[in-house]
Amino acid sequence: MNTRVGLFLAVFVTAFFATASAQEKDDLGGVDIKALHVEMEDAVGNYTVINERMDETATAAVLFGVAGAVVNSAQNNAQDNETADIWRGTAEGLEIGALIEAALLAKLTSSNSVSLTDDANAASHKLVIDLQDWGLTRRSKDSEELRAFINVNVKVLDEKDRTIWRDYPNRVGKFSSTNTLDFTDEVFASELEELARKTGESIAYGIIYR
């Protein structure tokens, strides 16, 4: 390959990738969204309880090395899974992703701030929500108070499906229990459903007040 051909290929490859990608923005200010399509990339997510994992594994690492920390972490995860099983039946009946999407669409519709479309091909931009972990988490390693939490990944794509903005909201609910078992199925469901609606509205505000 001679130098001229090599330079041509280098310029071509650079131009190709520049066209295929877009520089991500810090916010959506100034973005002209003519028609927005909303979609849930993952509406199920991963139900979990983060309780024992809040405990320090550093002590185990100091006393027993890396292997000790790994064993300690595995034990904590196993205990968390046992705790999560208390509400697993109720959790499986919750539609967290659907609640987030419904609240998001309702807020966007009532605001009249952006035109919505069900046709992804007709959209100038797409708002994609990916539900990640959700469930209950302990306040800190020094507290047994639990609260609901929801983690989502949010991104906006342009008409060429290039990501122009992304966010990773971590929504947490109020501290309403001082003991794990104080979370009845009813309390568990109501707090997570309320938090899901607030999560959807929060995402909508990012579009409305961009």
Decide if 121 is inside a domain.
Answer: yes
The total number of structural domains that make up the chain:
1
CA distances (Å), 60 to each of 72, 142, 143, 151, 207, in order? 7, 17, 20, 28, 45
Provide the domain limits for residue 197: 22-55+86-208
Decide if 7 is inside a domain.
Answer: no
Has residue 47 got a pLDDT over 90?
yes
- Name the average pLDDT for the chain: 78
More confident residue, 3 or 168: 168
Decide if 34 is inside a domain.
Answer: yes
Decide if 76 is inside a domain.
Answer: no
Decide if 6 is inside a domain.
Answer: no
Has residue 17 got a pLDDT over 60?
no
Decide if 38 is inside a domain.
Answer: yes
Q: What is the CATH number of the domain that holds 108?
A: 3.40.50.10610
CA distances (Å), 208 to each of 11, 122, 150, 155, in order? 40, 20, 21, 15
Decide if 78 is inside a domain.
Answer: no
Per residue in 94-131, pLDDT (tens digit) is 999 999 999 999 999 999 999 999 999 999 999 999 99
Decide if 10 is inside a domain.
Answer: no
* pLDDT for 132: 95
